Chain A
Amino acid sequence: MTAAVAAPGAIVDRGAVRRQRIIGIFYLLLAAIAAFVLTSGIAPEATSTFALKPAGSKTGLDIPNLVVPSVVTLYAVAALCGFLGAIQLVRGFGTRWAVVLGIAVAVFVFGFLTWAAVGKSMSLIGILQLTVVKALPITFGALSGLLCERAGVVNIAIEGMLLTGAFTGAVVGSATGNNIVGLVAAGFVGAALGTLLAVLAIRYRMDQIIAGTVINIFAAGITGFVSTRVLQLHRELNEPQRFPQIPIPVLSDIPIIGPMFFNGNIFLYALFVLIGLIHYGLFYTRWGLRVRAVGEHPRAADTVGINVLGTRYRNVILGGIVAGVGGAYFTLGSTGSFVQDMTAGRGFIGLAAMIFGAWTPVGAFLASLVFGFADAVQARLSILNIPLPSEFLLMVPYLVTIVVVAGLVGRVRAPAADGRPYEKE
């Protein structure tokens, strides 16, 4: 295999060769699982049904359910994975290996869903809708991290900002009876935590990861404290109105994509606007150029007259606002009332999504969709009563995060000055 890769005179990257080999073996493993483990105990004539039309939807085009023969599908999945694995081991896919990896995983996941839905009907559209719902706060978190890290400040406090945003949104939204006010308040509290992070990291040059951890512990403590001391006695302070769903006319009738992306509440549309704004701002405006300069080479930026510390302050506070507003989604946009530690690591997953998305807004959104999908599959399968302990399904989003971080760090490049305090000379 090594000989196949190494042309005469070419420098062989041993690590890369080994990694390619591992991926090839991984494909074969997927094939084996699909062919031998998942097919066991399934009757040959069994079928799996995937519903593609949202339950209760009256409008829109009539899409039939997707019905596939279970065993045949699983063997097809196994054959495809095995084929890809064989090619990977013999020849390799060169620069397209990442795309192939994505395809192989997607195919296997489809096989897994087929197995889970044997003899039953699984709402595929439900999973996809839930994917977007679950991906929403993760994306807000990722965008918050991105704003900070593009300017060279590591924001690991996203989790705490989301949690505090969720708490503030619920409490202020209930107290005022107006959830717009709750949303604004969540943004303000996010900004306050962002300011705290900025002051600790920039002014006092505290280790940024420790500063973020402090904010996380503080946020968990203070929201837990107040919800135990105040909210348990005053239930009326934890019953905010939720933002209604606003289907966008015409667009929401598009099959599959419509129910996923055009039938959400204000948070979803705000997120689209935000992704567009940050993408445009970061890559097409003077502000973005300056931010990126500060994140990559603060000394050079300083030399040409950019206010390095000011830029960092501004971006960290902006990131705080984004995370605070995103956190309000947990209460005002989703479940309604606040529960202790309800973010359950979504802020950290957002951080992983940011890395997975290579520090770009669109990439972060797509990465968040991957995590959201893992989360959604987990949520749906625990209802379907499949022979797999629910605890293992609950681990899936976290394990996916580890795999993604382990697989991608070093291959995507962080802003060069990320995490380093800047001192003027």
Chain B
Amino acid sequence: MLRFKSLTWRVVFLHIVAVAVVAIFLPLVLFWLLTSEVNHLHRDAMRDQAGVLGERLAVKPDGSLTLNLPDSLKDLYSEAYGRYQYEILDQSGRVLFSSHKNGEPIVRPDGSPPGAIAGASVSKDVGGQTVRIQVAEDLAHRDVIIDDIIANFFRRVGWITIPVLLILLATDIIIFRRAIASLVRASEEAKSIGPARTDVRLPTQKIPSEILPLVTAVNQALDRLEDGFRVQRQFTADAAHQLRTPLAILQTRIETLGDRAGARELQADIESMSRIVRQLLEIAELDTVVLDPSETADLRAVCAEVVGSIAPYALAGHKDIALRGTNDPVCIRGNAEMLQRAIFNLAENAIKYTARETSVDVEVNDDGSVRVRDCGPGIPASEHGLIFQRFWRGDRRRTDGAGLGLSIVREVVEDHSATVAVENLPSGGAQFTLRFQLAGEMPADKRQN
């Protein structure tokens, strides 16, 4: 059995099968009915003819029977015409009258008729004698018009069943499509549901009652999903507060120590702890915030914001940071906040690894790409595939990071259907290239459709 994914095609296919079967059998049945009706008509006609013959029988005074046929009937039963024949038998089966001059019986004693004939036999009482009147018609000479009707039944009449059935098929498809139109609308609505739009629910109006339990169940599942996202978001916000407030207390308390021994180291510890907390919260947030596909952002403005916010940190470490490339807005598909986090983490990483008195470059190009270059030691080629993993750290001895920054970059890149590549520059240092989709372009997954 063929399996169709589409309900419409499944119905159409089964309908075509049904129509084909009916298209074959309906004419056959009609033909059979027509034939039997024609035979019936013939038999009735024969009986009538036998009746007419019976009325022509008369009893002579001597008690014998006589048959007075008018000329018209004589012609009808003449052997020259050859179409009809009759015989009138008495009770013992003796032929009294016959259309055959030689008195040959219509039905031979062995029961086989001479050639194909059809006929009728009636009994009648004439003057106290019971006679049997048999009338037969030679099928070879039968009524041509009626025979034509039967012979041409398929060609002239039978074909009509096929268009009728096809019209029926078309009508049924229309009815079916109208019936599932509300489902199609619900499906369209369902397409727009994503983690970014968990508020959308499938419409329950006009949904057929057979399908309604499914739609309701889906809506309930969405309710639970939205609840989950809400709880997760609330958790992230609460966790941020609960983690950062003690850090703020710690930092303030250390400040009151003044320049005493160890205070500077403690400050540095708090800074790296704050960064880990920030990154963990970013990861938690990225898991719940999902991109609205229609959102756009100015990549250059995002990079300017990042460079501006990180510059004091770079300068404090006697390092420089610059924004290069185009000066015009670069409108890409994406969420400014998520982009900002990805690029911030890249820039922060670059500043960490670049040597003192060197510069980190953030370059924005109008093709929707961002390059972040440093003048550090570069990244061994063997680690290029590993650096984007969570908690990966190239140098285990370093304690100033948890290896989360680049995993955040990767996650943002994946959410944006963008790409990230890393390479070592000939001049030394690493270069990360992010490529986003310009706002005017169709996303790659839509283009294939």
A and B are interacting partners = no
